[in-house]
Structure 1
Amino acid sequence: MSAPDPVPGRQPRAIRNAFEVLAEVVAAGPGVTAREISAALRLPRATTYRLLNLLVAEEYLVRLPDLSGFALGARAGRLAVPVVPAPSTAARAVVGHLRARVRWGAHLASFAGGQVTVIDPDPDHPPGDPALLARHPHASALGKLLLAQTPDRRFRAGELQRLTEHTLTDPGELAAELKEVARTDLARQCGELHLGRGCLAVPVRAPGDGALVAGLALSGPADRVADPNDDLVELLRAHTERLAPLLA
């Protein structure tokens, strides 16, 4: 095996500067301007703009709608392990009630930190490797709920990993599906994460502003997920309404 190419001399400095820009946005808060970042880090204005443009393109930063400054982007949340509190006894009771009503696996997931974290997995129907759910949201129903909240996100060719022959890896097809998920508040995957297994998921939203806080999912055979019973979906939605005030 050939040795990897050495890192060019200027790249470590550029990488360090990029991290310093991210740290300055965290410290200064949303709305910090390029001029303020340049002054705080004593970086040339041109270098600061170049780093900001790169970080925006990679979705670690976003420009505020009025273009007045910058804030952390969707991918910045993946730089830290989210602290996810365990669900309350009351919330677990709601999920337990759902499990008693269906023969599917029922799982409650948090979206804290911008990633999927299962906080109440069904002990009789384990949801699988939690790392897969966190790393490949495009292949799970819970992940699609999360991705549908950021419709402007653009996936690059090759970014969407194929986990099974059914996994959606075409950015355009995924974007179309996410648009439908956002419209219906219902996500599904049929054999995209594990062959033969599927999942339905609906969002749990805060009662006040409707912000996405969690997802409730039912897992079962892929063929049943492909054509779910309307009564089953309504049962799932009814339990998310009961969960909303307990998780917000």
Structure 2
Amino acid sequence: MPDSPPPGITARQPRAIHSALTVLEAVAELGAGVSARELSAALGLPRATTYRLLNLLVQDEYLVRTPDLTGFALGQKVVGLAAAAVPVRLTRAARTVLDDLRSGARGGIHLVLFVDGRLVVADSDPDFPLADPHRAARELETTALGCLLLVERGAALPPTTAAVSTRGTLRRIEGTSGCLATPIRDGAGDLVGGLAYSGTRARIEAPRDLTVVLEDAAGELAPLVS
């Protein structure tokens, strides 16, 4: 007897999911700007079905319409999935900087990179991992690291986050814990990543020399990750 579909999934839905993935593959192969009519012809799908799948994929941000509204291109969600599938590989020198920093820290040390306007977790502290790295990448305002990118875009900071140094380090406090995040910039001054310390609220409110240590380490990492 064939397996029955999982609860909540009808017999038709797996076929629809396959069709949607096929549309994504076709857009990737045919290139940005491909029209619904071209996709329908290339895939042998009824035009009405093609339009329905395209509208669903645009609604969920897997596809976007081109500026002239006549074609389609891959969206940020697809780009994000591709980035997640290929782990960031740090050099031995970069890992040495992180290891040295963690050896003297009483909390978590995390490194992220900013790729095409997205936050990519490059190295989360194994002893104090990020609570929800996917949310951190998706909702920038929820972490000090994400707020570094918001500041770069000229956006206002949320109430729980504030700048604490002239070198751009941000402090974020929520409940009994908090985070310090400092920007990593390349030789041209462009934001390429962020280095953060997460720990107790008391440690974040009175960081003493922690801010300087983070900023100095960010300077060491800059040529190693950009």
Q: TM-score scaled by structure 2? A: 0.66
SS at 1:177 equivalent = coil
| Amino acid aligned to 1:190 | I
Q: Who is 2:39 aligned against? A: 37
Match status 1:240 vs 2:218: yes
Structure 1 consecutive aligned stretches of length 4 or more whose deviation exceeds 6 Å: none
C-alpha distance 33-145 of structure 1, shift in aligned 2 (>3 A):
farther
Q: What residue ranges of structure 1 are gaps of 5+ in the alignment?
A: 152-174
Q: Aligned partners of 1:13, 1:198: CA distance in 2, in Å?
A: 46
Q: Aligned partners of 1:143, 1:64: CA distance in 2, in Å?
A: 27
Contact between 1:84 and 1:112, CA under 8 Å: does it hold in 2? no
Contact between 1:200 and 1:218, CA under 8 Å: does it hold in 2? yes
Deviation at 1:218, TM superposition (A): 1.0
SS at 2:90 equivalent = coil
Q: Aligned partners of 2:173, 2:220: CA distance in 1, in Å?
A: 27
Q: Aligned partners of 2:206, 2:60: CA distance in 1, in Å?
A: 37
Q: CA RMSD in A?
A: 4.1
Contact between 1:205 and 1:211, CA under 8 Å: does it hold in 2? yes
User: Which residues in structure 2 correspond to 1:1-248 (within 5 Å)?
Assistant: 4-5=7-8, 7=10, 10-67=12-69, 69-77=71-79, 79=81, 81-96=84-99, 98-99=101-102, 104-110=107-113, 116-119=120-123, 121=125, 126-128=127-129, 132-137=131-136, 138=139, 139-145=142-148, 148=150, 177=158, 188-191=171-174, 196-207=176-187, 210=190, 212=192, 214-225=193-204, 227=205, 232-233=210-211, 235-248=213-226
Deviation at 1:106, TM superposition (A): 2.6
1:154-191 alpha-carbon deviations (Å, 9 max, x no partner): xxxxxxxxxxxxxxxxxxxxx8639x89xx96555434
Contact between 2:151 and 2:157, CA under 8 Å: does it hold in 1? no
Contact between 1:116 and 1:142, CA under 8 Å: does it hold in 2? no
| Amino acid aligned to 2:61 | E
Contact between 1:115 and 1:134, CA under 8 Å: does it hold in 2? no
Computing the radius of gyration from Cα coordinates, the structure with the larger value is 2
Q: What residue ranges of structure 2 are gaps of 5+ in the alignment?
A: 1-5
Q: Aligned partners of 1:188, 1:206: CA distance in 2, in Å?
A: 22
Q: Aligned partners of 1:57, 1:20: CA distance in 2, in Å?
A: 17
SS at 1:218 equivalent = strand
Contact between 2:147 and 2:157, CA under 8 Å: does it hold in 1? no
Deviation at 1:67, TM superposition (A): 4.0
Q: Aligned partners of 1:32, 1:203: CA distance in 2, in Å?
A: 38
Number of aligned residue pairs: 209
Q: Who is 1:172 aligned against? A: none
C-alpha distance 68-6 of structure 1, shift in aligned 2 (>3 A):
closer
Deviation at 1:216, TM superposition (A): 0.9
Q: Give the number of the structure whose residues are more often strand, by fraction.
A: 2
C-alpha distance 25-90 of structure 1, shift in aligned 2 (>3 A):
same
| Amino acid aligned to 2:220 | R
Contact between 2:107 and 2:128, CA under 8 Å: does it hold in 1? no
Q: Who is 2:3 aligned against? A: none
